[in-house]
Amino acid sequence: MDAEDLGTDLEKVLIDEQSLQDRLREMAAQVDADYAGRDVLLVGVLKGAVMVMADLARAMSIHLNMDWMAVSSYGSSTKSSGVVRILKDLDTDITGRHVLIVEDIIDSGLTLSWLMRNLTARGAASVEVLTMLRKPEAVKVDLVPKYIGFDIPNEFVVGYGLDYAERYRNLREIGTLAPHVYS
Ligand code: IMP
Ligand code: MG
């Protein structure tokens, strides 16, 4: 679906489809160059990262493996606590592997720093992060993603994998919702 399909539910489009795809292609070229000659494992974090993963992987020109994790962080629904529970673990033994975590968005960064520690402790040769979006809060944590699509303002966004109450993941753009949607 696109912005038109949402009518007045959408407040504004923050990043249009073309800009998302252009940026992804740039990042894919960087990842290609950085991992040339190495065996890279892309680890997508369900469910938000499915769109980024699908488009990034297809824009890359080197061989890669793909795996998925699902995690949930304890705490309220709007604020991450940094304590994480694994809902679906990797199928892959990552000992000695070059792991690139693929994420939709980093907000507090708490979930991701837990994930990096967890994957590093399994003996991965390297663990890096690619995220499509980063919010201002994330700049405070001790975690520097190797690849960042866009830095966005501190607003709740939906689309391109990101949901509100499990909706809007299939919106091709990234945008903000009108206040009436939340009430
Ligand atoms: P944090 O970085 O540990 O705070 O958690 C990041 C997770 O919260 C992301 O993977 C998303 O699932 C969710 N999230 C954070 N900000 C947004 C947003 O603006 N829209 C939709 N989901 C978000
Ligand atoms: Mg996520």
SS3 128: strand
Tokens of 181: 């949607």
Any atom of ligand 1 within 6 Å of the Cβ of 84 = no
pLDDT in tens, 123-155: 999 999 999 999 988 777 888 899 999 999 999
Residue 97 has pLDDT above 70, yes or no: yes
Rounded CA separation 63/35 (Å): 10
pLDDT level of residue 53 (50, 70, 90 thresholds): very high
Average pLDDT over residues 164-182: 97
Q: Give Cβ neighbours of residue 6 (< 8 Å, ≥ 6 apart).
A: 168, 171
- Supply the residue whose CA is at minimum distance from atom 9 of ligand 1: 105
Nearest ligand 1 atom to alpha carbon 135: 16
How many residues are present in the chain? 183
Residue 117 has pLDDT above 90, yes or no: yes
Tell me 140's DSSP state.
G
pLDDT in tens, 65-90: 999 999 987 665 556 666 789 999 99
Q: Give Cβ neighbours of residue 51 (< 8 Å, ≥ 6 apart).
A: 104, 160, 161, 169
